[in-house]
Amino acid sequence: MLKPGESILVEPGAFLYKDSSVQMNVQMQQLTTGLFGGSAMSLAQVIGPGRVGIQSMYVHHATE
């Protein structure tokens, strides 16, 4: 549940649903920079008020 004006950034694949009162914008986030440029990732910024459904994923890293 987002309050009026409250926002979060989510990966587009994690977005499940939103209330009609919630706004959504796409933002490009710079991941790495270097001598020859970098890479970017698009994220969905969701802005309240209203409910937003997102999913998360646990990744188990095996130790050897």
Inside any domain, residue 11: yes
Inside any domain, residue 30: yes
Strand order in the sheet with 7-10: 7-10, 37-47, 23-34
Inside any domain, residue 63: no
pLDDT tens readout for residues 42-63: 889 999 999 999 998 777 777 7
Inside any domain, residue 44: yes
User: φ, ψ for residue 13 (rounded to 5)?
Assistant: -70, -15
Inside any domain, residue 59: no
pTM above 0.85, yes or no: no
pLDDT over threshold 70, residue 64: no
Inside any domain, residue 64: no
**How many domains does the chain fold into?**
1
Residue numbers of the domain that contains 23 = 7-52
Average pLDDT, the chain: 85
Inside any domain, residue 60: no
